[in-house]
Amino acid sequence: MSDSKSLRTAVIGVGYLGRFHAQKYRQLEGSNLVAVADANAESARKVAEELGVEAVTDYRDVLDRVDAISIAVPTPLHHAVACAALERGIHVLVEKPIATTVQEATEMVALAARKGCVLQVGHLERFNPAIVAAVNRLQTPRFVESHRLAPFKQRGTDVSVVLDLMIHDIDLIQELVGRPIESIDAVGAQVFSGEIDIVNARIRFEGGCVANTTASRVSLKQERKIRIFQDDAYLSIDMQQKILTVIRKKDAAPVESPAQVSIEEESFDQGDALRDEIAAFLKAIREKTPPVVTGEDGLRALQTALKIAELVTGKGAG
């Protein structure tokens, strides 16, 4: 590894999302962006020129010159690229979902552990300031409801809406509840693409908590909300607008009177979750600590997502 003050970095795959990764690495203190790689030479050239770095079309050409990489290639390529990097002792931030199959994800997690590398998965909502604030208010969730709705776009339709959108909320819900899953029921449908476009899943956890989560990419509006009910409060989180609302029963309210509640609403700056995610990745490398979203977290979310997809389509999960 290079000196502790500056990590040599690269981004593999600089399409829509990878370009933003490259911009953050270029801006962040302690990151020396060496190159960007993309099989599409024109895409690599444009981003490289924008940021003043080298462009390559074969990601293997940069692996011997970097300490850490972001992987933003199509999901079916995550496993091959990540394993090639991890084998060389390179730290990896891989976009969600971690891989296409549980076996691939398991191999990536095991290889990272064996090589002593940080493997972080890009579940971006973990860095949403409204979510971060809500975590400090949580005790024991009893019921969770989430909605992630978006208008139809061709980008991302190579996978089901479960792996495209719902996996964000799957990761959040599993992290917030913190209990093993007991059972899952799910329904969904294809609407505009050859994959599932709308899904509802009901997840029951050990201990009794139930989560009802819906994801759609065929909606007229865009919405990212999660509501969490616990014994003493109801938390409503608008992840798009970055607003946290906490509703509690006032302690002084008599039992026989109509419920009197206190309502606290806190708005947060839009911030830059991707920058925070990459900064946390680099910090984990420097401090030799587990990342905020570990490879195991990514594997857990993938297992649940594939189970939901299997229930909807009737096809076995990978």
> Residue 45 maps to which CATH number?
3.40.50.720
Q: Give the model confidence (pLDDT) of 194-233 as tens digits.
A: 888 999 999 999 999 999 999 999 999 999 999 999 998 9
Cα separation, 214 vs 249, whole angstroms: 28
Identify whether 202 is part of a domain.
no
Three-state secondary-structure class, residue 204: strand
| C-beta separation of 72 from 11 below 8 A | yes
Residues 85/37, Cβ–Cβ less than 8 Å: no
What single letter denotes the amino acid at residue 239?
A: M
Structure confidence at residue 260 (pLDDT): 80
Q: Is residue 104 assigned to a domain?
A: yes
Using alpha carbons, list the distances in angstroms from residue 153 to 4, 164, 222, 312: 42, 12, 12, 21
Mean pLDDT in residue range 26-34: 97
Domain encompassing residue 13: 7-125+274-294
The average pLDDT across 245-256 equals: 74
In a domain, 75, yes or no: yes
pLDDT tens per residue across span 78-125 = 999 999 999 999 999 999 999 999 999 999 999 999 999 999 999 999
Structural domain includes residue 101: yes
What is the predicted pLDDT for the residue at 160?
Answer: 87
Beta strands in the chain, from DSSP E residues, in sequence order: 7-12, 31-37, 54-56, 68-71, 91-95, 119-122, 141-149, 181-189, 198-205, 210-216, 223-230, 233-238, 243-249, 261-267
Q: In terms of DSSP bridges, do strands 233-238 and 223-230 run parallel, antiparallel, or are they unpaired?
A: antiparallel
> What whole-number distance in Å separates Cα of residue 121 and Cα of residue 93?
6
Tokens encoding 26: 């270029």
20 part of a folded domain: yes
Whether 225 is in a domain gets the answer no
What's the rounded Cα separation, in Å, for the pair 253 and 216? 40
Would residue 237 count as lying in a domain?
Answer: no
In-domain check, residue 61: yes
- The predicted pLDDT at position 152 comes to 85
**Minimum mean pLDDT range among 88-92, 153-157, 246-250, 259-263:** 153-157
Q: Mean pLDDT over residues 27-42, rounded?
A: 97
- Domain total of the chain: 1
